[in-house]
Structures are given as C-alpha cells and as structure tokens.
Amino acid sequence: MTSLQKTKRVSWVSIILWVLRVAVITLVIYGSSVTLSSGKYAPSSWISLLIAGLAQGSIYALIALGYSLVYGIMLMINFAHGEVYMAGAFVSFFVADALEQSGFLQAQPLVTIFILLLSAMATSTLVALILERVAYRKLQNAPRMISLITAIGASFFLQYTFRGFFGSGFKAYPEFGTMWGRWTFGSVTIQIVQVVVAMAAILMMGGLYWFVEKTKTGKSMRAVSEDKEIASLMGIDVNRVIVITFMLGGMLAGAAGVFRGLYQPQGIGYNMGFLPGLKAFSAAVLGGIGNIPGAMLGGLFLGIFESIGPNLILQGLGIVGANQLKDAIAIVMLVLVLIFRPQGILGEKLAEEKA
Amino acid sequence: MTDSNAAQMIIERKHATRTMLIGIYSGLVALFICLIGMVETFGERDIIGGIISMGHTMLIIIAIGSGAIAVKTLREDMSTPGATINKTSFVVEIFVGVTAGLIVGATLSLFVFATELVDMRSVLINVSPGLLEMLTLQKPASQVMVTMTVLGSLLGGIGAAIFNIAPRIRLPLVLGLTSIVSLGMLRDMLKIVLTREGWPSVLLNFLVKNQGLSIAGGTTIFATTVALVIIWPHLPVIYDKTVRIIIAYVPKVLQFSVGIIFAITLTMRVFWFIAISDKDLPILPACQTADNSPDVGLDKCISIVSNDISTTTDLLGTNLATLVSTIITVSEMLIGTFILLCVIFAIWNIRQRVNTTNIKSTLEDPNNALLIIAKRNISAFFGVSLLVSLPILLGVFPSEVLLNVGLYMLMGFGLNIVVGMAGLLDLGYVAFFAVGAYSTALLTSPRASIELGMSFWAALPIVVLITGATGLLVGAPVLRMRGDYLAIVTLGFGEIARFLFLSDWFKPWLGGAQGIILIPPVSIGNIQLIGPHKLYYLIITGCLIALFISARLRESRVGRAWMAMSEDEQVAETMGINTVYYKLLAFGLGAMIASLSGAVFAAKLGTIFPHSFNVLVSITALSLLIVGGIGSLPGIIVGALVLVGLPELLREFTEYRLLIYGAVLIFMMLSRPEGLIPRVRQTRKLDDQELNQDAWLHDETEANNGPSVTVT
C-alpha cells in the first residue's frame, strides 16, 4: 500500500489545499506585520485585549467542554448545548435581578455570585438532562445525521420556548463590572471582573479534569468513551455514564452562562446561545474533540484569537470595520482546522469511526 | 356480573401509574402552551363565532387526547404477551380516560390557583390577565378549580369513549370535527377569498360570523364532511366508470379539437390575468382599471369588457352581478377542466396509437394499462389546470402565501439534491439563496454600486453561474469532511455570508445593513410581474423546472452515483465513482436552484437586507425536507405546503413557527425519520425488476420445455 501511495499522482484537490494553506499563512503574516509596523496599538492595549480574550475564552472553554464530553461518550454533536448555556444565563438573570432589587447583591456580591452559579448550574443541568431523556436517549445507536438533526430541532425548540416563556426582549444583568472597578498597572488596565471570570472558569475546568481523571465515575466515563460495548461488559452502566456526562456538561454551561452575565451584562436573550455554541464547538474541534484539556485550550485560544485577531490581522489587510468580522473568525478557523488538522491541537489521530 | 367480568374490572398498578403519567404529561403540555402564550394568542381567533375560540379548542384537544392516549396505551399493554389481564371492559377504559383527563384539569386548576398566590407576570410574561380570563372564563378562581377538574375528566372520558365507537361512525365524526376546526382556523383566509368579487357574498355571510364560523356554517361544514366521508369509498368506482366511458365513446377528433380550444382559452385567461388586470379580481371587472395599462392595442377590448360589466351591474345590482361573474368563473373552470380531460385523451390516443375498434374489448380487462395511464394523465392535467388557476381563484393575499411556499419549495428542491440525493447535510443553504438574491440585485438595480441595471432575464443566467461558482467554492474546502462536521461547517459558512453582507467592509458594494434598494420587477415584454399573484407563475415555472431536473437526475447515472455516495462513500469510491466530482456537482446544482429562488425573492421584494438571510431560512428548508421525507420529491411539496403555507395562513402561528419546527424535527427523527412521504427506494425497484426477470425466465423455460415434453 505504501508504495502505491508514493506513486499516487498529486490530485488537484490537494494542490488547491496547499495553495489555500500558503495563502492563509501569507495573509496572516502580511496582515499582522502591517498592523505591527504601523504602531497603531501600544503594547499595553495588546495586553488588555489578551486579558479580555482570556476571559471570553474561558467562557468558550466551559461550553466547549460540554460538546467535547458528549462527543467523546456518544459520538454526537449536541447542537443544543448552546441553549443549555442560554438557559443557565437566563435563569440566573432572574435570580440576580431579584437579589439586586432586594439589596442583597450590593451587600454580599460574592455570596450572590455563589447563589447565581448554583441556580444557573441547576437549571442548565436540568435542561441537559431533559434533553438527553426526551430527545437523545432513543437515538444512541442511530446514524449520526439523525441525532444531529434532532439536536438542531431541540436547539430551536429550546430557544423559542424560552422566548415564549420570558419574552423576546434582551435583558441586562446587574453591572458587576462597574461595581468592582478595574486595576491599573502602569498603562495597562484590567477589569477585575475579567480576572474573576477567568480564574473561576479555570478552577472549574481543573475540577472537571480531576473528576474525570481521578474518580471512579470519571474512570467509567473514560472507559465508555473508549468502547461502549466493552465498558458495558465490564459492568459499567452506560446510560448512567451518559446521564452524568450530560450533567457535567450542563453544570459547566450553566456556570459559563453566569460568567457571561458578569463579564458582558448586556444582551441576555433567547438566541444568545447560538453563536457561542457554534464557536465553542469550533473550540472543541480546534483542541481535538473528545479531549478535555484540548477543549480548554481550544476555548482559551479561540477567545484570545477572536479578541486580537481582527485588530491584528484583518486591519492590517486594510479591511474596514474588522471587528464586525469577529464572529466569522471562529468559523473560518473551524474550517481551516478541519481541513488541515482534523484531529485538533491535542487530539491523537482519531480512529476512522470518530473522525 | 360474572367472574371474568370482575377480573376485567381490575386494573394493574402498572397501568394505573402509566395512566397517571400520561395525565401528568398532557397536563404539562397544556401548561406549556399556556405559558408560551399560545393559548392566549389563539384565544383571539374564534372557531365558532362567540362560542369557542381556538385557544380553548387546543386545551380541549389535549384533554380529549390524554384520555384517548391513556386508553390506547392500556390496550397496547394488555395485548403484549406477558400481560396478566388481556382484555379491558368499557367501564375500565372510561375510568382510565377520566383519570387522565382529571389530572390534566387538575394541573391547570392548580396553575390558576398558584397565580392567585404569586405574581408570576414579572418573569413569565405570558401569565397575563387575558390568559387567566380565558382559563377561568371570568369567574373567581376558587369556583373554577372544581369546574375545571370536572371538565377535564369529562373530556378525558369522551376521549376514551371515542375509542369505543365503531370505526364506521368514528371516522366521519372525527373528520367532521377536524374540518370545522381547520376551517375555523382558516377563517381569515375564507373571509379574504370570499369577500372578493366573483364569489357571492351570500356564502360569506352564511359561513362566517364576525370572529369565526357561524353556527349554521359549522353545521353545514360538518354535514358536508360527513357526507363526503360516507360516499368516499364509492368515488373510485364512479370515477373508473366515467373514465372508461370517455375513453370509449368520445371521438378522437372531438377530444382533440375541444382540447385545443380549451388550451387557447386557458392561455388567454391566464394572459388576461397577468397582462391586463391590475387588480386581483377573478374576471371581467378587473378590466375597469385598465385605463392605466400602457398597452394601446388591448384598449379596445378592455373598454368593451368594462362596458359590459358596468351594464350588467346597472341591470342586476351589485350582488347579482357578483353572482353572475361567479357563475361565469365556475362554469369556465368546469368547462375548462372537462375540455382539458379531452385534450389528455386526444394526446394520449395519438401517442398510444390505440386501435379504436379494440378499445371496448380491452376495457373489459380490469387491469388494463389504458385505464391506468388515462387516470394518471387526468390527475396530471387536473393538477396543471388547478396550478394555473389558483391565483385567479384566490386573489392577492393567498397568492402571497403561495408565492412564499413556492420560494421555499424551490429551495427545498435544491437542498434535496445536496441533502437528499448526495447525502451531504448542508445547514448553510441560505448562503446560496442570499448570493442569488444579492447578485440579482447588483445586476438589475440601477441604484446598485455597479449600476448595470440589466433586465431580470439578462441577469438570471449570470446569477445562476455566480451562485453555482459560490457553491463550488463552498464545496471545495469541505470535500474531505463527513457527516456532522460538514453540517456544522456549512452552518458556519451561512453565518459568514450574513456577516459579510452586513459588514462595513463590503458596504460600498453591498450596502451593509441598508441592503440594496430599487430592484426592478420582472417583466415579460411590456407586462410587468408586480404583485404575488403574477410572480406566482414565475415561481411555479421555477418549481416545475426544478422538479423536472430533480426527477430526471434521480433516475440518471448521476443520481445513482449520488445515492451510492450517500449510502457509503468509501464503497462508492471503490466502485469507481469520482466522489470529488459528484460532491461538487451536488453543491453546484443545489446552489444554482437556490439562486433561482433568491432571484425571485429579490424581484418580489424590490429591496433586500442582510437580515432576511439568517439561519432560520436554512432551518426551514431543512425542516420541510425532513417532514416530507428526505429525498422524496412529493414530500418536498407537501412539506413546503404544511410548514410554510400553514403558518402564513395563520398569522398567530408565525410567532411559534420555529418552536413548532423544532418540535417537528425532534418528533420526526424519533418516530418517523423517513418522513411523511418516504422516498421510493431505488433498490426496491431493482429488486422488483430482478424478480420480474426471474419470473419471466422461469416462464420462458417452462414454455420452452413444456411443448417439447408434449411432443415427445
């Protein structure tokens, strides 16, 4: 076989791919060199962008973990995961609103955040569990296309259910950011809420990593993701593991919802989960889907890239209004990753059935 | 009561739990539709004027349904082999139904009670006084709780009882009620169609009473449906006989000449409608506004016609004139249809070269192909004449609905090539629709950045080519991806397209958020296709072309290659199918068909904004494909009518359209992944063919061997 592959002619598809590869790299290098040499941004503003990207990226990472966990266990893309995140953000908004009106929030901001996290995680977990029970349980062995379409249906159903329940207007979280102020180091200013969000998210991811690597349940999760049938022969209750996976994903997504509210108080609405969901999926693929550290790394990388990329690369290319294309960057990155390195940054070469 | 009867009265605990669960689930569903505001919104739409609204009807249906489902589950449980009790009695079933209904009623009354205690309005925006008024019928909550529970159990009991009526009675009953509900739902449309000139106002006044149907109207509809259901089984026989008589006794020459006359009439009728009438009026009065028409040559005819109608109006009064024009319309349609049938036979006779002397004897053969072909032609031509005359009969607003259905249907055909045939799940299909619309706008609008101001028809080929190229461009990078990744990536591409159309980057060319304005309407000669009732013909032509292309492709080598590819890509490649080529072909063709839809969309609106091209368009197209059955062409038509047409007819639905799409997608995937009208699998056809061949071979050998045996 190897000799055959060596003598195989270079197909025009791979030529095009090579051209694309070179073009992308040239564009990136050219764009960033132009921006950097123009000196439009001081180093301190790059650092601010980096921190902002880190905070945003940790939110993506939390959502991406949900995709990655479910994909690892069930080999399906839980397209409705963005809505699980939305549910958490939505409910915690109502809790935060009530607490703000009663004056509790102003008195005890940290306790409030704790309460918010609890309520959001509970809601998101509940939504994820209902989703699993109603929509996915029956489809465990169905073709992947069918479960994906179901997930898309579930995604829109959830979006419009929330819209029906709570109205289509956007809601604004209480302003934790202005309440806490910012730190200034020389010329670099950092919002405290960004640091809090990034730290808390990284803490949670550490917790998840510990859970999956060190506990017995985590071990059974890994076993199921390796081989469902053999795992069930070893006495692991596969359904229970799947439920736990959805719970974990839901909890993280709920927390991400709260962090989103803290970090970007505006625009809590019924369709807030769609784009972050898409981006988080990109992040999960970028890190190597099914791989937990990969999802974290992918999320953080995507957040930073999204925050720096438009200014660094696109502006250098002379594109007007580069920040409008911020959302497109994640998707372009997803496409490029899937074309050139489908296994992601950390992913091992996936078996044929997983790729 | 004997022992066995007593045994039947006992109900197992398992069944009791299940009944309660069904009751609770139904109650939650009822609560759900209350909370998302459906009940209140639909409460404004009366089914029967002043008596019952659609919101109430929904709750009633849920309560009845809970009873029916409970009984059905009970029967299914009992019929399973391991069941200890395998027969139920009427009383038990009623009891089960009542229990389920009672729980539904209790859930809602608990909800009403809870609203008395807590103010939920600040969070759940739909818990409004209006909703509570609807639920309690303006009575104090304490009284209503008991009433609601009793009502619920009553309805559950009815649901159970329906299961115990003989099917002979049940079917007409249920269908009659369904027809009342559905016509009541469509009362707006009924009003719009019936208030137009050409339909007698008597009918309108009889059927519709300010908010909904009148009682008399409802009864009539019910009676008509019941009558129809009863005579339904006899219809095929009558139809068969009529067709036989026509084939046998109507002379070919007559069929042929009458056919030609009719074809001319119909063409003129449509021409009249498109070219001359500027209003949506069905018949002559349309010409009254013809003064505005630039066409001088037709002026004379117009003036005659408008004189005619004014004299009839003078003579007979408005109401009667309407009646007369209705009679003319209806008779025109009837004669038209009849003549059309004759054309079919004329053409068919010529094609088949049937020996007329033998016809009568061939007809006595019950399974003859003659009859089958004739019937097929009849339905085809019925379909065509109906398609052509729909906007004439219905008027502008219903045509608008039809136009939208057509736009989505066209997209459905295109998407079907990508998803249904080639098996590539494309969730960013809106991108091609958008590219089609934008390139049309760019090429035709005099205000667009490039100021070409081409005509629609000159622009169309370029648009199709541009969009096809875009299809290839999107298709090329995703060639190596499979299944679910491909879906997400294409979804991303769809979003990217929208971002680009919105961005400041392309604003000088594409107008950013303001879009492109002043897109000229489509014109044929000096006829301008303004208004949905005229564009309808354009989109229908597009749909028919797409249908034809899809049908021919499916039967061709290309279609089989796609099918093989969607079954198993690697095997297909091994069998020598160039998957790269076929994938790109699918993307390109799908994009081209979408661009047609986009072009008509741009010409219809005259202005396009990036916001029209969001992911919901892709989801709608995908949903209609899935509901109809992936890969099934009739399925697309049905899917578009149901998923796009119905919500447009019911304005209240638009709010919940995507909610319903989502639910429908989940439901279809869980219970019926092959869709409402599953595609006829090619493989089965091949199997049949092989079987036939085997049978034929068998006969041949027998025939060959048989005589030889007898000879020796």
Q: How far is B496 from chain A (nearest CA, A)?
A: 5
Residues of chain B above pLDDT 70, percent = 72
Q: Looking at the domain assignment, is residue A348 inside a domain?
A: no
Q: How far is B432 from chain A (nearest CA, A)?
A: 17
CB atoms A152 and B665 under 8 Å: yes
How much is the average pLDDT of B517-528?
A: 76
Look up the domain containing B190 and give its range: 171-232
The interface residues of chain A toward chain B in range 81-100, judged by CB-CB distance below 8 A, are: 94
Pair (B378, B439) in one structural domain: no
A285 and chain B in contact, CB less than 8 A: yes
A77 and chain B in contact, CB less than 8 A: yes
Pair (B401, B467) in one structural domain: yes
Is the per-residue pLDDT at B406 higher than 80? yes
User: For residue A317, what are the CA distances in angstroms to A50, A305, A310, A313, A335?
Assistant: 21, 16, 10, 6, 20
Q: Looking at the domain assignment, is residue B653 inside a domain?
A: no
Residues of chain B found within 8 Å of residue A164, distances taken between Cβ atoms: 35-38, 126, 655-656, 659
Q: Looking at the domain assignment, is residue B245 inside a domain?
A: no
Q: Looking at the domain assignment, is residue B318 inside a domain?
A: yes
pLDDT band at B431 (very low <50, low <70, confident <90, very high): very high
Q: Looking at the domain assignment, is residue B88 inside a domain?
A: yes
Residues of chain B found within 8 Å of residue A11, distances taken between Cβ atoms: 580
Q: What is the DSSP letter of B568?
A: -
Is the per-residue pLDDT at B432 higher than 90? yes
Higher pLDDT, A303 or A8: A303
Cα–Cα distance for residue pair B640/B636, rounded to 1 Å: 6
**Assigned token pair, B255:** 């069929």
Pair (B143, B90) in one structural domain: yes
Cα–Cα distance for residue pair A314/A323, rounded to 1 Å: 9
Q: Within a 10 A sphere around the Cβ of B535, how many other Cβ atoms?
A: 25
A76 and chain B in contact, CB less than 8 A: yes
pLDDT digits (tens, 9 = 90+) for B677-692: 777 664 455 555 566 6
Cα–Cα distance for residue pair A57/A302, rounded to 1 Å: 6
Is the per-residue pLDDT at B209 higher than 50? yes
How much is the average pLDDT of B199-203?
A: 70
A152 and chain B in contact, CB less than 8 A: yes
Which of the residue ranges B103-117, B177-191, B237-251 has the most confident prediction, judged by mean pLDDT? B103-117
Residues of chain B found within 8 Å of residue A328, distances taken between Cβ atoms: 495-496, 499-500
Q: Looking at the domain assignment, is residue A287 inside a domain?
A: no
Q: Tell me, what's the pLDDT at B588? A: 93
Helix (H, G, I), strand (E, B) or coil at B596: helix
Pair (B596, B461) in one structural domain: yes
Q: Tell me, what's the pLDDT at B633? A: 87
Pair (B309, B378) in one structural domain: yes
Kindly identify which residue of chain B lies nearest to residue A319, measuring between CA atoms: B505
Residues of chain B above pLDDT 90, percent = 11
Radius of gyration of chain A (CA): 21
**Assigned token pair, A85:** 């995140």
Kindly identify which residue of chain B lies nearest to residue A12, measuring between CA atoms: B580
- Burial (CB count <10 Å: 0-12, 13-18, 19+), residue A50: middle
Q: Tell me, what's the pLDDT at B698? A: 67
Higher pLDDT, B266 or B172: B172
pLDDT band at A1 (very low <50, low <70, confident <90, very high): very low
Q: Looking at the domain assignment, is residue A189 inside a domain?
A: yes
How much is the average pLDDT of A13-29?
A: 83
User: For residue A158, which amino acid is it?
Assistant: L
Question: Final residue of a domain: which of B117, B135, B164?
Answer: B164
Beta bridge partners of A171: A268
Is the Cβ–Cβ distance between B429 and B415 less than 8 Å?
yes
Give the one of B487, B503, B666 whose C-beta lies nearest to A150's C-beta: B666
Is the per-residue pLDDT at A195 higher than 70? yes
Pair (B310, B449) in one structural domain: no
Look up the domain containing A98 and give its range: 44-279
Kindly identify which residue of chain B lies nearest to residue A338, measuring between CA atoms: B481
Q: Looking at the domain assignment, is residue A127 inside a domain?
A: yes
Is the per-residue pLDDT at B526 higher than 60? yes
Q: Looking at the domain assignment, is residue A96 inside a domain?
A: yes
Residues of chain A found within 8 Å of residue B503, distances taken between Cβ atoms: 320-321, 324-325
Q: Looking at the domain assignment, is residue B695 inside a domain?
A: no
A19 and chain B in contact, CB less than 8 A: no
Q: Looking at the domain assignment, is residue B196 inside a domain?
A: yes
Q: Tell me, what's the pLDDT at B198? A: 58
Is the per-residue pLDDT at B321 higher than 80? no
pLDDT band at B5 (very low <50, low <70, confident <90, very high): very low
How much is the average pLDDT of B590-598?
A: 93
Q: Tell me, what's the pLDDT at B364? A: 55
Pair (B198, B330) in one structural domain: no
pLDDT digits (tens, 9 = 90+) for B292-312: 433 333 343 344 444 444 444
Q: Tell me, what's the pLDDT at A105? A: 79
Higher pLDDT, B305 or A247: A247
Q: Within a 10 A sphere around the Cβ of B21, how many other Cβ atoms?
A: 14
Is the per-residue pLDDT at B151 higher than 60? yes
Q: Tell me, what's the pLDDT at A123? A: 92
pLDDT digits (tens, 9 = 90+) for B622-641: 888 888 888 888 889 989 98
Q: How far is A197 from chain B (nearest CA, A)?
A: 27
CB atoms A166 and B485 under 8 Å: no
Structure-token match 């939504």, residue found: A127
Which of A138, A146, A152 to mutate: most B Cβ within 10 Å?
A152
Q: Tell me, what's the pLDDT at A128? A: 92
Q: How far is A223 from chain B (nearest CA, A)?
A: 24
How much is the average pLDDT of B575-580?
A: 87
Side by side, the strands of the sheet bearing B212-213 are B52-53, B46-48, B212-213, B208-209
For the ranges A6-20, A82-96, B119-133, which has the lowest average pLDDT? A6-20
Is the Cβ–Cβ distance between B646 and B653 less than 8 Å?
yes
Is the per-residue pLDDT at B1 higher than 70? no
Kindly identify which residue of chain B lies nearest to residue A138, measuring between CA atoms: B670
Give the one of B124, B427, B666 whose C-beta lies nearest to A166's C-beta: B124
- Average pLDDT of chain B, as a whole number: 76
pLDDT band at B289 (very low <50, low <70, confident <90, very high): very low
Which of B670, B671, B672, B674 to mutate: most A Cβ within 10 Å?
B670
Q: Looking at the domain assignment, is residue A320 inside a domain?
A: no
How many domains in chain A?
1
For the ranges A311-325, B229-243, B324-338, which has the lowest average pLDDT? B324-338
pLDDT band at B283 (very low <50, low <70, confident <90, very high): very low
Pair (B225, B256) in one structural domain: no
Higher pLDDT, A343 or B107: B107
Pair (B41, B190) in one structural domain: no
- Average pLDDT of chain A, as a whole number: 83
Which of A133, A137, A145, A270 to mutate: most B Cβ within 10 Å?
A145
Q: Looking at the domain assignment, is residue A128 inside a domain?
A: yes
Question: Which of these, A102, A90, A112, A125, lies nearest to A260 by C-alpha position?
Answer: A90
Q: Tell me, what's the pLDDT at B277? A: 54
Q: Looking at the domain assignment, is residue B650 inside a domain?
A: no
For the ranges A60-64, A176-180, B357-361, B429-433, which has the lowest average pLDDT? B357-361
What ipTM does the predicted assembly reach? 0.86
**Assigned token pair, A40:** 């439009």
Residues of chain A found within 8 Å of residue B619, distances taken between Cβ atoms: 152, 156
The interface residues of chain A toward chain B in range 200-219, judged by CB-CB distance below 8 A, are: none
Q: Looking at the domain assignment, is residue A165 inside a domain?
A: yes
Q: Looking at the domain assignment, is residue B487 inside a domain?
A: yes
Give the one of B36, B492, B670 whose C-beta lies nearest to A161's C-beta: B36
Residues of chain A found within 8 Å of residue B664, distances taken between Cβ atoms: 153
For the ranges A74-83, B88-97, B584-593, which has the lowest average pLDDT? B88-97
Residues of chain A above pLDDT 90, percent = 17
Kindly identify which residue of chain A lies nearest to residue B570, measuring between CA atoms: A352
Please report the number of interchain residue pairs, chain A to chain B, with beta-carbon separation below 8 angstroms: 162
Which of B505, B587, B618, B619 to mutate: most A Cβ within 10 Å?
B505
Kindly identify which residue of chain A lies nearest to residue B493, measuring between CA atoms: A331
Residues of chain B found within 8 Å of residue A342, distances taken between Cβ atoms: 480-481, 485
Higher pLDDT, B374 or A349: B374
pLDDT digits (tens, 9 = 90+) for A264-291: 877 788 888 888 898 998 888 888 887 8
Kindly identify which residue of chain A lies nearest to residue B507, measuring between CA atoms: A320
**Assigned token pair, B614:** 């969001």
Q: Tell me, what's the pLDDT at B380? A: 67
Which of the residue ranges B241-250, B371-380, B659-668 has the most confident prediction, judged by mean pLDDT? B659-668
Is the per-residue pLDDT at A4 higher than 60? no
CB atoms A13 and B580 under 8 Å: yes
Pair (B159, B195) in one structural domain: no
Residues of chain A found within 8 Å of residue B37, distances taken between Cβ atoms: 164
Q: Tell me, what's the pLDDT at B589? A: 92
Pair (B59, B198) in one structural domain: no
Pair (B127, B183) in one structural domain: no
